[in-house]
């Protein structure tokens, strides 16, 4: 049997074809634009997602190893938190407001202050962050009342794809957890949050587990793709939970770090946990359990910004060849190009280089970018450790994982063993695994990842270098309070 995994990302959709033994047969990627209509705003047209996904499916199914008669299931991992709203005729009312959009400062402040962080945590297990979906709904209500009145369906980006592919109006626990509308502990919509946002439960999708079936691909789409029989579509997962499945991060206390457009530290948990200040997100996991997650808004996007926008080069490999990661770089970089989420929850803070001198080199500034993103991830790691969670190693995925210099720097900054996978395909392979479970290929997600996920390499920290980075981290950790309100 063959399964299709889809990663609905911020800049592109990636599709891969997987055999039931986990072998990746082929993959396709299709790009689409992001719109920035105002400073701090980030939007996309959901029609672009659907058009490029269907085009990608068509290409994938024409690749050499695709056997159309063997296609059994599709699973999607998607960018989280985005607000997609449909009217009574199922038309998209306005462009989707994305996860990294920072327009909801007032609404986030209202939720955290007027409603109160304690109440929000009781209702959902989380507090409000500017990127979450509930503040976006309130923003729509406050600033576009005509659009708000027209809303009949509220969904997340990957759920829009599932809806168009199958007609099933569903979501999954992991993705719904990031809306600030779900009672995460009890895996159901929060009546209190629906009332606060002024919406009805029938506007929201049915909540399922990630490995459960949402529906089957519509007949007309099957025919257009040259498929026959029935193709099951799993409920899918938020991109970070899907990536965690793809890296085998399912056992209690296991950890995965993703360095994609954003950066995440993901810790699987059998039990529901909340840290004292809600600095980490407490979400459902795609295996039916829970997870804690710290998210920084800019990670590999910092590297892209520095190389392409500032240095005007696309030579990623050449620029990195002289970066050594020795722990003695005097330059600091704060990676807050789009504001920050974990642990600061500050959409207004901006990035900075500090420690520049007349002898500062190009290589030192690039090294500082790698270090700054790694230090920001360490902020979340230290909060997890404060909860008594013992973490000794982590899996690593995302575009940043392909950089040897960055991997080495991250390993020593976190002082963890870092495991590199044989097949690092992020949320797409996680989606394919969920599809295989939904179709009965495996009895559980845990069984699937034990069979499919393999470790290629383990990077071990160097004690002296880890100690040097720890000293530098203490300085980094002091910088945000110093520049808060200035940048």
Q: Respond yes or no: is residue 239 known to be catalytic.
A: yes
pLDDT confidence of residue 338 = 87
Band (276; pLDDT cuts 50, 70, 90)? confident
Q: What percent of the chain has pLDDT over 70?
A: 100
pLDDT above 90: residue 347 = no
Hunting for tokens 């899918």 — which residue is that?
A: 236
User: Measuring CA to CA, which residue among 254, 126, 238, 255 is closest to residue 185?
Assistant: 126
Q: Give the largest Cα separation in the chain, rounded.
A: 68
pLDDT confidence of residue 269 = 93
User: Measuring CA to CA, which residue among 411, 410, 417 is closest to residue 393?
Assistant: 417
Band (116; pLDDT cuts 50, 70, 90)? very high
Q: Are 72 and 108 in contact (CB under 8 A)?
A: no
Q: Is the dihedral of CA 463, 410, 269, 19 positive or negative?
A: negative
Residue-wise pLDDT for 213-237, tens only, equals 999 999 999 999 999 999 999 999 9
Q: Residue 275 is encoded by which pair of tokens?
A: 């840290």
From the options 3.40.50.300, 3.30.420.40, 3.40.50.2020, 3.40.640.10, give the CATH code of 2-240: 3.30.420.40
Whole-number Å distance between alpha carbons of 391 and 291: 14
Collapsing DSSP states into helix, strand and coil, what is residue 277? coil
pLDDT, average across residues 141-146: 98
* pTM confidence score: 0.91
Residue 130 host element (H or E): none
User: Measuring CA to CA, which residue among 469, 455, 48, 13 is closest to residue 254?
Assistant: 455
pLDDT confidence of residue 348 = 86
Q: Residue 291 is encoded by which pair of tokens?
A: 């997870």
Cβ contacts of 309 within 8 Å, gap of 6 or more: none
Q: Are 269 and 290 in contact (CB under 8 A)?
A: yes
pLDDT above 80: residue 487 = no
User: Measuring CA to CA, which residue among 15, 367, 78, 431 is closest to residue 234?
Assistant: 431
Are both 2-240 and 248-423+454-487 of the same fold? yes
Cβ contacts of 7 within 8 Å, gap of 6 or more: 13, 14, 15, 76, 77, 78, 239, 242, 425, 426, 427, 428, 431
Q: CA 485, 359, 403, 78: dihedral to nearest 10 degrees?
A: 20
Q: Which of 101, 172, 175, 239 is catalytic?
A: 239
Hunting for tokens 């809600």 — which residue is that?
A: 278
Domain residues of the chain, as ranges? Answer: 2-240, 248-423+454-487
pLDDT, average across residues 28-54: 96
Q: Residue 179 is encoded by which pair of tokens?
A: 């809306």
pLDDT confidence of residue 295 = 92
The rounded Cα 195 to chain-centroid distance in angstroms is: 27
Q: Are 267 and 255 in contact (CB under 8 A)?
A: yes
Concatenating the DSSP letter of every residue in 317-340 gives HHHHTT----S----EEE--BTBB
pLDDT, average across residues 308-326: 93
Band (456; pLDDT cuts 50, 70, 90)? very high
The rounded Cα 216 to chain-centroid distance in angstroms is: 25
pLDDT, average across residues 151-160: 98
Band (279; pLDDT cuts 50, 70, 90)? confident
Q: Is 81 annotated as a binding residue?
A: yes
pLDDT above 80: residue 165 = yes
Collapsing DSSP states into helix, strand and coil, what is residue 252? coil
Band (81; pLDDT cuts 50, 70, 90)? very high
Q: Partners of 265 in the beta sheet?
A: 257, 294
Determine if residue 332 is left, alpha or beta; phi over 0 gives left, psi from -120 to 50 gives alpha, anything else beta.
Answer: beta
User: Measuring CA to CA, which residue among 357, 257, 262 is closest to residue 302?
Assistant: 262
Band (426; pLDDT cuts 50, 70, 90)? confident
DSSP-based helix, strand, coil % in the chain, nearest 5:
40, 25, 35
Concatenating the DSSP letter of every residue in 305-320 gives IIIIIIS----HHHHH
pLDDT, average across residues 453-470: 96
Whole-number Å distance between alpha carbons of 286 and 460: 29
**Lowest-pLDDT range of 200-209, 300-309, 383-392:** 383-392
* DSSP type of residue 81: S
The residue that leads in pLDDT, 341 or 451, is 451
pLDDT confidence of residue 3 = 98
Q: Is 344 annotated as a binding residue?
A: no
Q: Which fold has domain 248-423+454-487?
A: Nucleotidyltransferase; domain 5 (3.30.420)
pLDDT above 90: residue 183 = yes
Q: Are 170 and 205 in contact (CB under 8 A)?
A: yes
Residue 469 burial by CB count (10 A; 0-12/13-18/19+): exposed, middle or buried?
buried
pLDDT, average across residues 431-447: 98
pLDDT confidence of residue 98 = 97
């Amino acid at each position: 049997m063959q399964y299709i995994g889809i990663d609905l990302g911020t800049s592109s959709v990636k599709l891969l074809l997987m055999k039931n033994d986990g072998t990746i047969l082929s993959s396709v990627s299709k790009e689409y634009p992001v719109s920035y209509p105002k400073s701090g705003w980030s939007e996309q047209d959901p029609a672009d997602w659907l058009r490029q996904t269907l085009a990608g499916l068509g290409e994938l199914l024409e690749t050499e190893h695709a056997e159309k008669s063997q296609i059994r299931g599709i699973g999607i991992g998607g960018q989280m938190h985005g607000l997609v709203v449909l009217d009574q005729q199922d038309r998209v009312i306005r462009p989707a407001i994305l996860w990294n959009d920072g327009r909801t400062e007032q609404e986030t402040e209202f939720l955290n202050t007027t409603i109160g962080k304690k109440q929000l945590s009781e209702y959902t297990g989380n507090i409000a962050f500017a990127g979450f979906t509930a503040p976006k709904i309130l923003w729509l209500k406050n600033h576009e009342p005509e659009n708000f009145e027209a809303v009949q369906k509220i969904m997340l980006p990957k759920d829009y794809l599932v809806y168009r592919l199958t007609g099933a109006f569903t979501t999954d626990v992991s993705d719904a957890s990031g809306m600030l509308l779900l009672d995460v502990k009890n895996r159901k919509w929060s009546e209190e949050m629906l009332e606060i946002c002024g919406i009805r439960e029938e506007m929201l999708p049915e909540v399922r587990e990630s490995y459960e079936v949402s529906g089957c691909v519509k007949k007309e789409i099957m025919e257009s793709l040259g498929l026959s029989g029935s193709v099951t579509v799993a409920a899918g997962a938020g991109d970070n939970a899907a990536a965690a499945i793809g890296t085998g991060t399912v056992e209690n206390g296991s950890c995965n770090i993703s360095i994609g457009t954003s950066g995440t530290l993901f810790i699987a948990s059998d039990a529901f946990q909340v840290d004292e200040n809600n600095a980490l997100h407490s979400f459902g996991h795609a295996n039916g359990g829970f997870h804690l997650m710290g998210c920084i808004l800019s990670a590999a996007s910092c590297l892209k910004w520095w190389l392409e926008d500032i240095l005007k080069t696309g030579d990623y490999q050449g620029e990195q060849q002289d970066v050594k990661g020795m722990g003695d770089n005097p330059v600091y970089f704060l990676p807050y190009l789009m504001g920050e989420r974990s642990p600061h929850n500050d959409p207004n803070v901006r990035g900075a280089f500090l420690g520049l001198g007349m002898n500062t080199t190009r290589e030192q500034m690039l090294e500082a970018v790698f270090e700054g993103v790694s230090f920001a991830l360490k902020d979340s790691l230290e909060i997890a450790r404060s909860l008594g969670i013992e973490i000794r190693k982590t899996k690593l995925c995302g575009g940043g994982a392909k950089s040897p210099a960055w991997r080495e720097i991250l390993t020593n900054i976190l002082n963890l063993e870092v495991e590199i996978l044989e097949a690092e395909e992020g949320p797409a392979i996680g989606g394919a695994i969920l599809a295989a479970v939904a179709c009965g290929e495996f009895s559980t997600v845990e069984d699937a990842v034990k069979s499919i996920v393999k470790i290629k390499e383990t990077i071990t920290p160097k004690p002296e270098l880890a100690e040097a980075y720890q000293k530098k981290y203490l300085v980094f950790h002091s910088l945000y309070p110093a520049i808060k309100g200035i940048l």
